[in-house]
Amino acid sequence: MNCHWVKEKIFPYLDGEVTAEERGKIEAHLASCQSCAEELACFKNIRTTAHTLDELKPSDYFEMRLKRRLQVTPKSSVWSFLWKRRLAWAAALPVLVILSFIIFRSSSSKPMPSLQVEADYYYLETESESPDIQYVVEKELSNGSNQVLIVPVLSYADKSY
Amino acid sequence: MRKDNRIRKDVKECNDEELMELIKNGDTTAFDQMVKRYKNKLFSTLYRITRNNDTAEDILQETFIKVFRKCRLYKPAYKVSTWIYTIALNEMRSYMRKQKPTVSLDAMPTFALTSDPPNPQDGLLKIKLEQAIEALPADYRSAFLLREVDGFPYEDIANIIKCPIGTAKSRVNRARLMLKEKLGKFFGGGNR
Ligand SMILES: [Zn+2]
């Protein structure tokens, strides 16, 4: 067992990521090698001191400011969401027109799906980048097609204590 | 004012995951409790990374606003603490990107301790450590703080700072080596 091997293992040892066998070898070496023992003691002391660093506090007005900001209901969200993506919508429009024409032709005899939101919707992984939109929900309708719902953010002001 | 007549657990007794469930249902007392639980811890880390009171506080504001408004994106597969820290460090990155001319986290004013340490010897070590942490490169500093001050496992650190686990480990270890280099004589490691 040499110092080089122990020094390589010193961080995994410190992090508790060595096997029982390795730990035994390291500790046996530390008992007889002052240099390695001092090095480990230094890392341990740094860690102990880091654990006890003072907890710092934001200003006294932090929570008041936070509440005030949360009570501002976001501006009409759906329209700003759509507006910010106007180019994308413009590009998609011809495709949508053609698609809806095809769908209409193929399904004109079937009843239209209900537009009610049910509780069994699931969330898409995608998080909205708009600060006003909490998430986009995709709901599978009984006929197998998907309905996309845009859900605005929760408003702190709407809720009572 | 609406009153809920059902008997419910005091938010102070709820664990983080239970609080998140309440927040998802629009419970603002649960949210306030979450803020109380995390604001100092998170502020300490943000302050030590950014070394600016106002910046750290602004980022903390944005973080909690996201926690509230995007609460439904929280998945119980993650620990709440990891989720909140991930939001905070994302906010910090985007805050730093918006700063023109580019603010570098690697060259900023020195750390000032606000309170008198109770034990002079203990206090000296803390000041030395604060100063040495401050002098670390920003990436190493974040990783070291998350590991040794906030106590996150490497897997969580990798998620929070968005890097592979191996990178998180090597950043923490490089920080440890640099700190030992600087502080060896104070922390009993000689000057090797
Ligand atoms: Zn040795």
Tens of pLDDT, residues B134-185: 999 999 999 999 999 999 999 999 999 999 999 999 999 999 999 999 998 8
Q: Where are the alpha helices (DSSP H) in chain A?
A: 3-14, 20-32, 34-51, 62-71, 77-84, 86-107
In a domain, A79, yes or no: no
* Same domain? B43 vs B93: yes
**In a domain? residue A62:** no
- Cross-chain Cβ contact A66/B35 below 8 Å: yes
A15 pLDDT above the threshold of 80:
yes
Does the structure show a pLDDT above 60 at A120?
A: no
CB contact under 8 A, A56 and B188: no
Please tell me the predicted confidence (pLDDT) of residue B151. Answer: 95
Give the residue from B109, B133, B163 where a domain finishes.
Answer: B109
Is the Cβ–Cβ distance between A4 and A33 less than 8 Å? Answer: no
Final residue of a structural domain among B81, B109, B137 = B109
Name the residue among B26, B114, B125 with its Cβ closest to that of A154: B26
**B94 lies in the same domain as B181:** no
Is residue B5 situated within a structural domain?
no
Question: How many other C-beta atoms lie within 10 A of the C-beta of residue B22?
Answer: 20
When pLDDT is cut at 50, 70 and 90, the band that residue B186 belongs to is confident
Pairing mode of beta strands A146-152, A133-140:
antiparallel
Its ipTM equals 0.84
Kindly state whether residues B46 and B74 are assigned to the same domain: yes
Residue type, A2: N
- The total number of structural domains in chain A stands at 2
Position of tokens 């906030």? B150
Q: Directed axis angle between helix B28-50 and helix A62-71, to 10°? A: 120
- Domain span at residue B140 reads 119-192
- Between B87 and B102, residue with greater pLDDT: B87
Whether residues B25 and B86 share a domain: the answer is yes
Mean pLDDT for chain B overall: 87
* Residue A73 confidence (pLDDT): 57
What number of other Cβ atoms are within 10 A of residue B87's Cβ?
Answer: 22
Flag if B189 and A62 touch (Cβ within 8 Å): no
Tell me how many residue pairs between chain A and chain B have CB atoms under 8 A apart.
129
Which of A41-50, A124-133, B91-100, B112-121 has the least mean pLDDT?
Answer: A124-133
Residue B47 forms part of a structural domain: yes
Q: Cα(B165) to centroid of ligand 1, in Å? A: 28
Q: For the range A23-30, what are the long-range contacts, defined as Cβ-Cβ under 8 Å and sequence gap of 24 or more? A: A25/A1, A28/A1, A29/A1, A29/A3, A30/A6
Domain-embedded: residue B114: no
Q: What are the structure tokens assigned to A150, written together? A: 């845009």
- Chain-chain contact of B73 with A38 (C-beta, under 8 angstroms): no
Q: What is the CA radius of gyration of chain B?
A: 19
Comparing B96 with A90, the larger pLDDT belongs to: B96
Distance from the Cα of A103 to chain B's closest Cα (Å) equals: 33
- pLDDT-derived band at B22 (thresholds 50, 70, 90) equals very high
* Structural domain contains residue B6: no
* Minimum distance, in Å, between the CA of residue B169 and any CA atom of chain A: 9
What is the mean predicted confidence (pLDDT) over B27-56? 95
Interface of B with A in 9-38 (CB under 8 A): 26-29, 31-32, 35
B65–chain A Cβ distance below 8 A for any pair? yes
pLDDT at A142 exceeding the cut of 70 = no
Across chain A, mean pLDDT equals: 72
Output the pLDDT for position A124.
Answer: 32
Residue A120 lies in a domain: yes
In a domain, B74, yes or no: yes
Interhelix angle B16-24/B28-50, nearest 10 degrees: 120
Checking if the pLDDT of B6 tops 70, the result is no
- B29 plus B103 within the same structural domain: yes
CATH (domain of B184): 1.10.10.10
Does B148 sit within 8 Å of A46, measured CB to CB? yes
Q: What is the pLDDT of residues A45-86, one digit of tens each?
A: 999 999 999 999 999 999 999 999 988 755 545 555 666 667
- Can you tell me which residue has the tokens 């080089």? A4
| Nearest Cα residue in chain A from B150 | A51
Q: Which residue has the higher pLDDT, B34 or B77?
A: B34
* B13 vs B3 pLDDT, higher one: B13
What is the number of domains present in chain B? 2
Q: What is the pLDDT of residue A128?
A: 47
For residue A153, pLDDT over 80 is answered with no
Query: Which of A33, A51, A69 is the last residue in one of the domains?
Result: A51
**Packing angle, helices B165-187 and B120-134, rounded to 10:** 140
Domain span holding position A32: 3-51
Q: Please answer whether residues B19 and A150 qualify as being in contact, where contact means their C-beta atoms are separated by less than 8 angstroms.
A: no
pLDDT value for A108: 53
Tell whether A16 is within 8 A of chain B (Cβ): no
| pLDDT at position B33 | 96
| pLDDT value for A125 | 32
